[in-house]
Amino acid sequence: MSSALEDTRFDPITLKELPKLECAITILTDFEPAEGPMAWEIGVHGLRISFVYHGRRMGATYLPDVAKEQGWTKEETLVSLMRKAGWTGKKDDWSKVRLDVVTYRGTKACVTWEEYRDLLAVEEDEDEDEDGDEEEGDEE
């Protein structure tokens, strides 16, 4: 939620964009230390990295679908993830940095704006039904 509400890298969503929106969540499981920075599978594993650069501890994560959606190789994924964490080294020097890598898996669920609106309408109907039931129970 913090990304959706507080990420200043993106402009606020406009009303015109709402019908095109899709919201996804990924439930993360099976966290395991990787045997090395390349010991993971694109499209299967998410990555959490941490490392020290210029005396500062840095870290970042990508969900399991990021590398596949971007069409990245493992090396491109790691360099991008290091950049996300704040690393400013030369691209070809990424392997000189000692990375602690944790892999994980995820189960993703998506909903469109229209599906979300339909769910809200169902919840409102259920709330109205519950309120009506309580009033009927009060009369007895």
Binned at pLDDT 50, 70 and 90, residue 120 comes out as confident
Half-sphere exposure of 81 (CA within 13 A, CB side): 28
In a domain, 4, yes or no: no
In a domain, 8, yes or no: no
In a domain, 25, yes or no: no
> How many domains in the chain?
1
In a domain, 72, yes or no: yes
In a domain, 98, yes or no: yes
In a domain, 47, yes or no: yes
In a domain, 95, yes or no: yes
pLDDT in tens, 65-114: 999 999 999 999 999 999 999 999 999 999 999 999 999 999 999 999 88
Distance in angstroms (rounded) separating the CA atoms of residues 105 and 94: 24
Range of the domain at 84: 31-116
In a domain, 135, yes or no: no
